[in-house]
Amino acid sequence: MAAAARIPLIGRFFGRTVSEGAAYALGVATAPVLAPAVREIQNTVNAAYPIVPPDVGTLAAGVATGQVDETQARAWAAQRGFGEAQFSALVAISDVGPGIGQLYSGWRRGELTTGEFNRGLDRLSIEPEWWPALRSLKEVRLSPEDVANAVQQGFIPEAGLLPGASSGSPPFTIPTETVPIGAVSEAAAAGLDRDRLQVLAQLSGNPPGPMELLDMWNRGIVTEESVDHGIREGRTKTKWAPAIKELRHFLMSPAEVAGLRLRGWIDAAESYRLGALRGASPETMDGLFLNRGRPMTPLQMWRAIRRGDATKADFDRAVKQSDIRPEYTKWEWAIRFTYPSLFQLNRLVTSGAFTVARGRQILMYQGWEETDVDAMVSWWESQGGASGTKWADRARSRLFTVAHNEYLDGSIDDAQAHELLARVGATAGEQTTIVELWTAELGISRLELTPSQIKKAYKKALYTFEFATSELIERGMTAEDANTFLMSG
């Protein structure tokens, strides 16, 4: 505003002449009354002349924080009557360091030295007598909760803080221990009343896991409402509760589903659907299906080969699919044959259809103990199976029977009996004994059953097989003939 424009404004209060008396009256006598008018004049003048410098303390802070140009700030400070030294002192006062938390972070990370940490404390106007105590706080201690957990898990010596473990045998009584601390008063020391302490007590501990809750629900142990409470108390968002409760339904394992497919209860498509519920892909379900069941046995495969329905390759594949290692296939092939039973083998050897050597080989193939094989071979040889004297032995046996019968009938005398016994191979001593026995037999007069009657008694279970056989042998039959006679018809 120009000077000519400002004079009329002043004149509104003082007129054309500004005297010392008016000034005095304005400044002293009329000051309370004229304060608003003076303020308006001052505002008008300040607007016309915007030259008032900022507060020097604000300027110093602006320089310290880099927000105000230092040269300009010093010029403004000079207008406030502050010299270079005074303003530098104000800037130094305003030039503070980081906060106490930032100092600790930088020092713990190695970004600040101990000296720099001390200088930071100095900038925070903390007296040096407190510095040692503050430096001791560099290492962060475990919280009481962490210490208690470490004691429980055995990472810190428990020093008698925990009850001892149960000893002896089941059932165990798990020890509990009450510590004599007033819960309400202890919470009150932390600023918590009884109601808030009760809330914290309700929040402590965890419910059973979701799957255990669902299992208890399925068993009728808890209600659905209890399951909902358990899910909520486990800090699972309640929006997931309906989906979680769907897991209560039992699903067969992919392996069980593959078994149903193998047995024809379901088809491949259904197995894929059921397997997908367990996260199994169609490829996985096909693999489980192929891994189920068993192939034909090696013996069955060999019979199929003999019928012309299979090949050696089919045999090898069946062995492989039966979980037998490939290197054993050659031995499965070697033992593919079937051999006669002992009863059949005995008849084949004793009849001369099989040699004793072949009989021995078959017994060895069938896994007989070698001592037992030797005993069986000896018996076969005694029956003529080895020497080829079977028919001659039968003839001698028959001759002995005829001689016996003829002697009892009186058709031959002692001399003829000795001659016939010599023919069947009896020694002189044996001949004498046999003739003496036959003579004693002549003195026995008893009624004897015919062979047919003996057989009939055996069929009606009146005689045992062994007794009937012995009776037939006494009547002149060989053991083999008696066996055949009783088993026929």
How confident is the model over 355-382, as a mean pLDDT? Answer: 91
| Interatomic CA distance for residues 147 and 150, integer angstroms | 5
pLDDT in tens, 156-185: 887 777 877 777 788 877 777 788 888 888
User: Using an 8 Å Cβ cutoff, are 151 and 145 in contact?
Assistant: no
Is pLDDT of 441 > 60?
A: yes
Q: Model confidence over 179-204: pLDDT tens digits?
A: 888 888 888 988 989 998 888 888 88
**Phi first, then psi: what are they for 83, rounded to 5°?**
-80, -175
Query: Could you tell me if residue 71 is inside a domain?
Result: no
Report the pLDDT value the prediction gives residue 254, as an integer from 0 to 100. Answer: 94
Domain identity same for 458 and 480: yes
Q: What percent of the chain has pLDDT over 90?
A: 28
Please state which of the ranges 9-23, 70-84, 243-257, 376-390 shows the lowest mean pLDDT.
Answer: 9-23
Assigned domain for 176 exists: no
Last residue of a domain, one of 344, 376, 408: 376
User: Does 445 score more than 70 pLDDT?
Assistant: no
Say if 41 falls within a structural domain.
Answer: yes
Q: Give the total number of structural domains in the chain.
A: 7
DSSP string, 199-237: HHHHHSS----HHHHHHHHHTTSS-HHHHHHHHHHTT--
> pLDDT tens-digit profile of 476-485?
888 888 888 8
Q: Which of 26-30, 41-45, 405-409, 460-464 comes out lowest in average pLDDT?
A: 26-30
Asked if the structure places residue 460 within a domain, the reply is yes
Say which range, 130-139, 333-342, 456-465, has the weakest mean pLDDT: 456-465
Q: Are residue 317 and residue 367 in the same domain, yes or no?
A: yes
Q: Poorest-confidence range of 50-54, 268-272, 315-319?
A: 50-54
190 lies in some domain: no
What domain range includes position 32?
A: 3-48
Collapse the DSSP code of 189 into the 3-class scheme (helix H, G, I; strand E, B; otherwise coil) and give the result: helix
Q: State yes or no: pLDDT of 6 exceeds 60.
A: no
User: Is residue 4 scored above 80 in pLDDT?
Assistant: no
pLDDT confidence band for 27 (50 / 70 / 90): low
Is the residue at 80 inside a domain? Answer: no
Which residues are within 8 A (CB) of 397 and not within 5 positions of it... i.e. 6 or more apart?
Answer: 424, 478
